Structure 1
Amino acid sequence: MKLHGAAAFASMFLLGGIWSSHIACVWKQRRNRLAGVSFASAVAALVVTGYGLYYFNGKGLRSLSEWVHWTAGVMLGFLFWNHVARGRRELHRH
Protein backbone atom coordinates (compact mmCIF):
# COMPACT_ATOMS: atom_id res chain seq x y z
CA MET A 1 0.00 0.00 0.00
CA LYS A 2 2.92 2.36 0.61
CA LEU A 3 4.12 1.85 -2.96
CA HIS A 4 0.56 2.41 -4.24
CA GLY A 5 0.35 5.68 -2.29
CA ALA A 6 3.73 6.84 -3.60
CA ALA A 7 2.66 6.05 -7.17
CA ALA A 8 -0.53 8.03 -6.60
CA PHE A 9 1.42 11.11 -5.50
CA ALA A 10 3.77 10.75 -8.48
CA SER A 11 0.76 10.48 -10.82
CA MET A 12 -0.84 13.60 -9.36
CA PHE A 13 2.47 15.44 -9.79
CA LEU A 14 2.74 14.34 -13.44
CA LEU A 15 -0.87 15.25 -14.20
CA GLY A 16 -0.27 18.67 -12.68
CA GLY A 17 2.77 19.00 -14.91
CA ILE A 18 0.85 18.36 -18.11
CA TRP A 19 -1.92 20.76 -17.14
CA SER A 20 -0.34 23.80 -18.80
CA SER A 21 1.34 22.00 -21.68
CA HIS A 22 -1.58 19.80 -22.78
CA ILE A 23 -4.86 20.16 -20.93
CA ALA A 24 -5.24 23.95 -20.96
CA CYS A 25 -3.99 24.26 -24.54
CA VAL A 26 -6.24 21.56 -26.02
CA TRP A 27 -9.24 22.71 -23.95
CA LYS A 28 -9.02 26.14 -25.62
CA GLN A 29 -9.02 24.40 -29.01
CA ARG A 30 -12.26 22.59 -28.04
CA ARG A 31 -10.77 19.20 -28.93
CA ASN A 32 -11.50 15.82 -27.34
CA ARG A 33 -13.30 17.36 -24.39
CA LEU A 34 -15.71 14.54 -23.49
CA ALA A 35 -12.97 11.91 -23.31
CA GLY A 36 -10.72 14.31 -21.40
CA VAL A 37 -13.41 15.21 -18.88
CA SER A 38 -14.22 11.51 -18.41
CA PHE A 39 -10.57 10.71 -17.72
CA ALA A 40 -10.15 13.71 -15.42
CA SER A 41 -13.32 12.76 -13.52
CA ALA A 42 -11.99 9.26 -12.88
CA VAL A 43 -8.68 10.72 -11.68
CA ALA A 44 -10.54 13.13 -9.39
CA ALA A 45 -12.62 10.25 -8.00
CA LEU A 46 -9.40 8.33 -7.30
CA VAL A 47 -7.85 11.30 -5.49
CA VAL A 48 -10.93 12.01 -3.36
CA THR A 49 -11.63 8.38 -2.50
CA GLY A 50 -7.94 7.70 -1.85
CA TYR A 51 -8.05 10.51 0.69
CA GLY A 52 -11.21 8.94 2.10
CA LEU A 53 -9.60 5.52 2.40
CA TYR A 54 -6.76 7.06 4.34
CA TYR A 55 -8.86 9.17 6.72
CA PHE A 56 -12.38 7.70 7.00
CA ASN A 57 -13.13 5.35 9.87
CA GLY A 58 -16.19 3.20 10.25
CA LYS A 59 -18.08 1.16 7.76
CA GLY A 60 -20.24 3.61 5.76
CA LEU A 61 -17.98 6.23 4.19
CA ARG A 62 -14.96 3.93 4.08
CA SER A 63 -16.92 1.20 2.25
CA LEU A 64 -18.29 3.72 -0.24
CA SER A 65 -14.81 5.16 -0.79
CA GLU A 66 -13.38 1.70 -1.35
CA TRP A 67 -16.04 0.76 -3.92
CA VAL A 68 -15.74 4.04 -5.85
CA HIS A 69 -11.92 3.87 -5.72
CA TRP A 70 -11.84 0.34 -7.16
CA THR A 71 -14.40 1.20 -9.84
CA ALA A 72 -12.61 4.39 -10.92
CA GLY A 73 -9.26 2.60 -10.88
CA VAL A 74 -10.49 -0.19 -13.12
CA MET A 75 -12.11 2.30 -15.51
CA LEU A 76 -9.07 4.57 -15.67
CA GLY A 77 -7.11 2.39 -18.09
CA PHE A 78 -10.00 2.23 -20.54
CA LEU A 79 -10.69 5.96 -20.21
CA PHE A 80 -7.04 6.82 -20.84
CA TRP A 81 -6.89 4.56 -23.90
CA ASN A 82 -10.16 6.07 -25.19
CA HIS A 83 -8.88 9.62 -24.67
CA VAL A 84 -5.61 8.95 -26.53
CA ALA A 85 -7.33 7.05 -29.38
CA ARG A 86 -9.96 9.78 -29.88
CA GLY A 87 -7.30 12.49 -29.81
CA ARG A 88 -5.23 10.72 -32.45
CA ARG A 89 -8.26 10.18 -34.70
CA GLU A 90 -9.16 13.83 -34.34
CA LEU A 91 -5.63 14.93 -35.26
CA HIS A 92 -5.63 12.78 -38.39
CA ARG A 93 -9.01 14.19 -39.47
CA HIS A 94 -7.65 17.74 -39.61
Structure 2
Amino acid sequence: MRLKTSFRYAIYAAFAVLFLTGAGWFVADWQKDVSSDDIWQQVAANMLMVHGGAAMLALMMLGALIPLHFLRAWRARKNRVSGSLMAAFNVVLIATAFGLYYLGSETLRPWISWIHIAAGLLLVLMFPLHIVLGGRPKQ
Protein backbone atom coordinates (compact mmCIF):
# COMPACT_ATOMS: atom_id res chain seq x y z
CA MET A 1 0.00 0.00 0.00
CA ARG A 2 2.76 2.38 -0.95
CA LEU A 3 1.75 6.02 -0.95
CA LYS A 4 2.64 8.55 -3.62
CA THR A 5 6.18 9.75 -2.87
CA SER A 6 5.28 13.43 -2.37
CA PHE A 7 2.42 12.56 0.01
CA ARG A 8 4.60 10.08 1.91
CA TYR A 9 7.35 12.67 2.39
CA ALA A 10 4.80 15.29 3.45
CA ILE A 11 3.57 12.89 6.15
CA TYR A 12 7.14 12.19 7.25
CA ALA A 13 7.87 15.93 7.40
CA ALA A 14 4.71 16.76 9.36
CA PHE A 15 5.34 14.05 11.93
CA ALA A 16 9.03 15.02 12.19
CA VAL A 17 8.00 18.61 12.92
CA LEU A 18 5.47 17.35 15.47
CA PHE A 19 8.12 15.28 17.23
CA LEU A 20 10.78 17.99 17.17
CA THR A 21 8.47 20.74 18.40
CA GLY A 22 6.99 18.44 21.05
CA ALA A 23 10.48 17.54 22.27
CA GLY A 24 11.50 21.21 22.04
CA TRP A 25 8.50 22.23 24.14
CA PHE A 26 9.31 19.49 26.69
CA VAL A 27 12.89 20.77 27.13
CA ALA A 28 11.81 24.43 27.22
CA ASP A 29 9.04 23.69 29.73
CA TRP A 30 11.54 21.87 31.95
CA GLN A 31 14.08 24.69 31.60
CA LYS A 32 11.60 27.43 32.48
CA ASP A 33 11.07 25.71 35.84
CA VAL A 34 14.83 25.28 36.42
CA SER A 35 16.15 28.54 35.00
CA SER A 36 15.16 32.08 35.90
CA ASP A 37 15.74 33.11 32.28
CA ASP A 38 12.51 34.30 30.59
CA ILE A 39 13.58 33.09 27.17
CA TRP A 40 12.43 29.54 27.97
CA GLN A 41 8.86 30.74 28.43
CA GLN A 42 8.96 32.29 24.93
CA VAL A 43 10.62 29.20 23.42
CA ALA A 44 7.94 26.97 24.99
CA ALA A 45 5.17 29.20 23.61
CA ASN A 46 6.71 29.21 20.12
CA MET A 47 7.17 25.43 20.15
CA LEU A 48 3.50 24.97 21.05
CA MET A 49 2.41 27.35 18.31
CA VAL A 50 4.36 25.48 15.61
CA HIS A 51 3.32 22.13 17.12
CA GLY A 52 -0.35 23.11 16.88
CA GLY A 53 0.01 24.23 13.27
CA ALA A 54 1.79 21.03 12.31
CA ALA A 55 -0.91 19.06 14.12
CA MET A 56 -3.58 20.68 11.95
CA LEU A 57 -1.70 19.65 8.81
CA ALA A 58 -1.16 16.16 10.19
CA LEU A 59 -4.89 15.84 10.91
CA MET A 60 -5.68 16.63 7.27
CA MET A 61 -3.15 14.06 6.10
CA LEU A 62 -4.45 11.44 8.54
CA GLY A 63 -7.93 12.01 7.13
CA ALA A 64 -6.58 11.41 3.63
CA LEU A 65 -4.78 8.27 4.81
CA ILE A 66 -8.05 6.58 5.79
CA PRO A 67 -9.30 5.87 2.25
CA LEU A 68 -5.89 5.96 0.51
CA HIS A 69 -3.96 3.70 2.83
CA PHE A 70 -5.69 2.40 5.93
CA LEU A 71 -8.86 0.94 4.37
CA ARG A 72 -7.04 -0.48 1.34
CA ALA A 73 -4.40 -2.15 3.52
CA TRP A 74 -7.06 -3.47 5.91
CA ARG A 75 -9.02 -5.07 3.08
CA ALA A 76 -5.78 -6.55 1.69
CA ARG A 77 -4.94 -7.88 5.17
CA LYS A 78 -1.57 -6.11 5.17
CA ASN A 79 0.24 -4.79 8.21
CA ARG A 80 -2.90 -4.83 10.36
CA VAL A 81 -1.25 -4.95 13.79
CA SER A 82 1.22 -2.11 13.33
CA GLY A 83 -1.32 -0.11 11.33
CA SER A 84 -3.88 -0.49 14.09
CA LEU A 85 -1.31 0.58 16.66
CA MET A 86 -0.44 3.62 14.55
CA ALA A 87 -4.13 4.54 14.31
CA ALA A 88 -4.63 3.97 18.06
CA PHE A 89 -1.66 6.17 19.03
CA ASN A 90 -2.95 8.90 16.72
CA VAL A 91 -6.43 8.68 18.26
CA VAL A 92 -4.92 9.01 21.74
CA LEU A 93 -2.83 11.98 20.60
CA ILE A 94 -5.85 13.71 19.06
CA ALA A 95 -8.04 13.10 22.13
CA THR A 96 -5.38 14.24 24.60
CA ALA A 97 -4.54 17.30 22.47
CA PHE A 98 -8.22 18.21 22.60
CA GLY A 99 -8.16 17.72 26.36
CA LEU A 100 -5.03 19.83 26.81
CA TYR A 101 -6.45 22.64 24.71
CA TYR A 102 -10.05 22.69 25.88
CA LEU A 103 -10.21 21.19 29.39
CA GLY A 104 -9.43 23.63 32.15
CA SER A 105 -9.09 21.06 34.91
CA GLU A 106 -5.80 21.53 36.75
CA THR A 107 -6.28 18.06 38.26
CA LEU A 108 -6.55 16.27 34.89
CA ARG A 109 -4.12 18.41 32.90
CA PRO A 110 -0.86 16.80 34.15
CA TRP A 111 -2.26 13.31 33.51
CA ILE A 112 -3.45 14.23 30.04
CA SER A 113 -0.09 15.84 29.30
CA TRP A 114 1.88 12.73 30.31
CA ILE A 115 -0.43 10.47 28.31
CA HIS A 116 0.04 12.77 25.29
CA ILE A 117 3.83 12.71 25.68
CA ALA A 118 3.91 8.92 26.10
CA ALA A 119 1.66 8.34 23.06
CA GLY A 120 3.84 10.70 21.01
CA LEU A 121 7.00 8.83 21.96
CA LEU A 122 5.38 5.47 21.24
CA LEU A 123 4.22 6.75 17.84
CA VAL A 124 7.76 7.89 17.04
CA LEU A 125 9.02 4.39 17.85
CA MET A 126 6.18 2.69 15.96
CA PHE A 127 6.45 4.83 12.80
CA PRO A 128 9.68 3.32 11.37
CA LEU A 129 8.63 -0.16 12.47
CA HIS A 130 5.34 0.20 10.58
CA ILE A 131 7.23 1.31 7.46
CA VAL A 132 9.72 -1.56 7.67
CA LEU A 133 7.00 -4.14 8.31
CA GLY A 134 4.93 -2.77 5.44
CA GLY A 135 7.84 -3.03 3.02
CA ARG A 136 8.72 -6.64 3.74
CA PRO A 137 7.85 -9.22 1.10
CA LYS A 138 4.81 -11.40 1.82
CA GLN A 139 5.66 -14.99 2.72
Q: Does 1:35 align with 2:82?
A: yes
Give the ranges of 4+ consecutive aligned residues of structure 1 lying more than 2 Å apart after TM superposition.
none
The TM-score with structure 2 as length reference comes to 0.63
- The structure number with the bigger radius of gyration is 2
* Partners of 1:37 and 1:61 in 2: CA distance: 27
- Cα deviation digits, residues 38-63 of structure 1 (max 9, x gap): 11111111100000001122322211
Q: Which runs of 5+ in 1 are unaligned?
A: none
Higher helix proportion (structure 1 or 2): 1
Percent same amino acid among aligned pairs? 33
Query: Higher relative CO (CA 8 A, sep ≥ 6), structure 1 or 2?
Result: 1
* Partners of 1:65 and 1:80 in 2: CA distance: 22
When the two chains are superposed, the root-mean-square deviation of aligned CA atoms in Å is: 1.1
* Partners of 1:93 and 1:45 in 2: CA distance: 30
- Cα deviation digits, residues 19-53 of structure 1 (max 9, x gap): 11111111001111110011111111110000000
Q: Does 1:45 align with 2:54?
A: no
The TM-score with structure 1 as length reference comes to 0.91
Q: Which runs of 5+ in 2 are unaligned?
A: 1-47
* Partners of 2:94 and 2:133 in 1: CA distance: 25
Residue of structure 2 in register with 1:55 after alignment:
102
Residue correspondences, number: 92
